[in-house]
Structure 1
Amino acid sequence: MASLFACRPADVTLERVRELVAIGQPESLTLEYKEKYTPRIPTSVAAMANSYGGLILVGVTESNVDDRVIGVPEGTIVQIVNGCHQTLEPPWVPEIIPVPLPETDGRTVLVVRVDAAKASRPLLIQGAAPIRLHGRNSVADRAGLARLINEAAPRAVVAGLRLPPADLPLDDQGKSSADFLVRTGMFVPVDAAATWRPLSERGVQAFADALNNSPVHHALFRWCASIGEGGMNPFYRSGFNRARKIRLLWQGGPNGAPAFPLEAVARIDLPDAYGAPVSHLQVSVEVLARFRHTFGRTVPLSVARLHELVDALTATLVDDKVTEALAALAGVDPLVMPQPLGLDFLSSTDMPDLLAGNGLTSVPDAGTSRGANLLADPGVDQRDLGERRALIDSWLQQISLDAGLLGMEKVLEQLHNASL
């Protein structure tokens, strides 16, 4: 369901629509079916826009029949456009994607995608603000309407939310205690009711369980095994934990060592004050390498290993089980889950030293760097393996060029050719 909302219009196919309908997904906070055009469609558009967005599939019957996808006449799209433009205050029309039904007389399924981030909130109908509840529409009360109005001004900066600056941990002498750090994260919208509750113990455990079966867990375990240190402690609560702040720690390496060579830290933070009406879960997952502090020597970081690590981090935050656990903690549908915002990469040494031995060459007198803060292209669907890895390629190229290193494009090309 989430992929149907996030994918490009050309990728919204009849097969994807049938897949969604076939699994029996019921109407919910972010999903509604309509057999034909009805004046209630603009109301549902407004309700979803005033809530968390969602999908309206027009041309899908709720009747218990073998094939629920029946389609609507081609002119239905004009009815939806006119209905939204004439009914909504201010006038606003969502994205409407027609999906043709073959071997019919021009019938289509209309996928109406309501992106709450693009709508002019609040959207009103006859002075009232519809909102979406689970499987039905309602109307915002006085407090809810005030929230929507007050939210409208800062709403434009929501897409620009940034994680706090990443820092390498320090030892007792104020020196870096890690070789490097890689971090990604995102902000998850929170249902208003969830802002009054602590982060559920069961929900946090479900998140930890999902992480312990995620790509980042498997990638770190393989890394430990490759250096002959395959022992590990899976994600568990450790360090500063509170009702609204969660810290989960993963450790890999020899027990009893002064420091684990590999650590991963997952954090969930509900930063607003208790009971605040609008909030986001701040979610991050980072990996710390401490080879120099564990073994007294630096373990070379190959481009292949770095690419695998970054891929595992981003893949983890779009993993179905992980996003389901986070959505449950936030009290929202997995459909509205965002994707990672970008990547932080920090090193305690100059990048040319960290990436030495990868076939990269330094530009004379070009200077160097010890890190990068990289943004994700919002047009990339990170759930798609090919698109995600192309994004990571661009990140690694930027890291190397900012460090005065040439040859990353060739190294990546060789890496991908070897994996074919």
Structure 2
Amino acid sequence: MGEAGSWRPLSERSVAALAQALNESAFPAALRGLGQGAFDQFIDFRPLGHNRSRTARLVFQAISHAPVPNPVEAVVTVNLPEIYGSTSTALTATVTIDVIARVRRYADSLETVIMPGQEYRYPVPNLADLLDGLLQTVVDSKVVTEIARITDIDTTLVAQPRELHLVADRQVKELLHPTGLREIPDAGASAGGIFRTNPALDLRVAAERQEQVDDWLRQLGLDAGLTGMETLVESYRATIAPTA
């Protein structure tokens, strides 16, 4: 936090500029991809919910008329620390991004079956695109500039993300599309995990960002007791255009 950012309230214009930067980033397209074209209505990032003088909460939503009204949501929260009563001389702001995917629940709620004979599962390429879009957004120059403006620091001091937390409402192996994946007998259950960011990678570089996403996907598969994720990721990368 810069000196002015430590005491002043959030600027409405700065929060609006951050929302605009998020809407112009790679994030919305990656979120839309989770639905595989099933949703045709979306509400862009805008203040919603608990917003205060030192907390900004910006929300993106997919809209559905099914019993699950928001199958995909993303919440970006910026929290500025309170200086009163703090003994720390190095106050740090936090930026948290939550992605809530209810596509499986949405598919289960429909009267017509999307995929006859089987439950909906998330294709690994969709998850790869989501993670890449997420990382691309947190290093996007416009997004970083607005975060730096809100916290009154230089853009070079805006840190890259440290970790990703995944929390599922069932075993991960039950959420992933089984194509190319094989279950390891008696491997146990996994309902998520903590995925560290490699500090040696510069996520502003497309190839290094892709390397981070691929590492996370391999960890996701292995922790879920599945083999084949490494080959599946390599096959997907071979089908898309080379990164610059």
After TM superposition, the score normalised by the length of structure 2 is 0.88
1:259 and 1:290 in contact (8 A); partners too: no
2:73 aligned partner: 263
1:49-72 Cα offsets, whole Å, 9 max, x none, are xxxxxxxxxxxxxxxxxxxxxxxx
Report the CA distance between 1:256 and its aligned residue: 7.2
1:309 aligned partner: 130
Give secondary structure in 1 for the equivalent of 2:198. coil
CA distance in 1, matches of 2:33, 2:170: 25
User: Does the alignment pair 1:252 with 2:62?
Assistant: yes
1:280-316 Cα offsets, whole Å, 9 max, x none, are 1100112111124434355321110001001111110
Higher normalized contact order (CA 8 Å, seq sep 6+, divided by chain length): 2
CA distance in 2, matches of 1:205, 1:332: 18
CA distance in 2, matches of 1:256, 1:364: 37
After TM superposition, the score normalised by the length of structure 1 is 0.52
2:96 to 281, 284, 301: 284
2:16 aligned partner: 205
1:406 aligned partner: 227
Determine what percentage of the aligned residue pairs are the same residue. 35
1:230 aligned partner: 40
Give secondary structure in 2 for the equivalent of 1:332. coil
Q: RMSD over aligned Cα, in angstroms?
A: 1.8
1:344 and 1:371 in contact (8 A); partners too: yes
1:195 and 1:278 in contact (8 A); partners too: no
Report the CA distance between 1:343 and its aligned residue: 1.2
Larger Rg: 1
User: Does the alignment pair 1:193 with 2:193?
Assistant: no
1:196 and 1:274 in contact (8 A); partners too: no
The AA in structure 2 aligned to 1:300 is R
Report the CA distance between 1:241 and its aligned residue: 1.1
1:163 aligned partner: none
1:216 aligned partner: 27
2:33 and 2:130 in contact (8 A); partners too: no
1:369 aligned partner: 190
CA distance in 1, matches of 2:159, 2:202: 10
2:239 aligned partner: 418
2:6 and 2:81 in contact (8 A); partners too: no
Change (3 A) 1:228 1:292: closer
CA distance in 2, matches of 1:274, 1:231: 43
1:395 aligned partner: 216
CA distance in 2, matches of 1:302, 1:259: 22
2:116 aligned partner: none
1:337 to 158, 161, 169: 158
1:325-381 Cα offsets, whole Å, 9 max, x none, are 000001111122211112111211111111132311111011120101011111100
1:195 and 1:274 in contact (8 A); partners too: no
Unaligned 5+ segments in structure 2 are 110-118
Change (3 A) 1:374 1:258: closer
Unaligned 5+ segments in structure 1 are 1-189
- The count of residues paired between Structure 1 and Structure 2 equals 230
Give secondary structure in 1 for the equivalent of 2:77. strand
Change (3 A) 1:233 1:331: same
2:170 and 2:191 in contact (8 A); partners too: yes
The AA in structure 1 aligned to 2:37 is I
Give secondary structure in 2 for the equivalent of 1:263. strand
CA distance in 1, matches of 2:28, 2:8: 29
The AA in structure 1 aligned to 2:169 is S
User: Does the alignment pair 1:357 with 2:168?
Assistant: no
Change (3 A) 1:360 1:256: closer
Report the CA distance between 1:258 and its aligned residue: 4.0
2:83 aligned partner: 273
1:195 and 1:275 in contact (8 A); partners too: no
The correspondence of residues 2-401 of structure 1 with structure 2, limited to 5 A, is: 190-224=1-35, 226-254=36-64, 258-274=68-84, 277-296=89-108, 299-401=120-222
